[in-house]
Structure 1
Amino acid sequence: MASTTRTTHRSTAGKKLYAVRDKQGRFKDIQTYERAHRADLKKKSKGEKTKH
C-alpha cells in the first residue's frame, strides 16, 4: 500500500493544514495539522504491533 501524499498549507486563521491528495493529484481531504498529527500518534506501526 502506497502512502498518501500530504502537502502543507496555512488557513486564513494561520493554522497549519495538511492537504491529502489522491493518485491523480486531486484533493481528497484537507485536515488541520493538529488533528492529523494526533491521528498519526494514535496509530500503531507494524513494528509496534508485532512486539507483543
Structure 2
Amino acid sequence: MTYDEAQVLSQLVSMAIFMTLLAAAFVYAFRSSNKAKFDHIAKAAIEQDNKTEKQ
C-alpha cells in the first residue's frame, strides 16, 4: 500500500464516520419523541431571557 492509497483510504473512512455521526445527530434531533424536550428547553431559555430583561 502506497502513501497515496493510505491517504485515500483514510479520507474515505473519515468521511464515512463523519456522515454516520451526522445522520445520527439528525435522527436524534428530528425524532418526534424529543419534541417535548426541545420545546421545554426553548421555553425555558425564553423565560430566562424575559426574567433578566425585567431586572
- Answer yes or no: same fold by TM over 0.5: no
Bigger radius of gyration, 1 or 2? Answer: 2
Q: Which has the higher helix share?
A: 2
**TM-score normalised by the shorter chain: which range applies?**
0.3 to 0.5
- Structure-2-length-normalised TM-score: 0.33
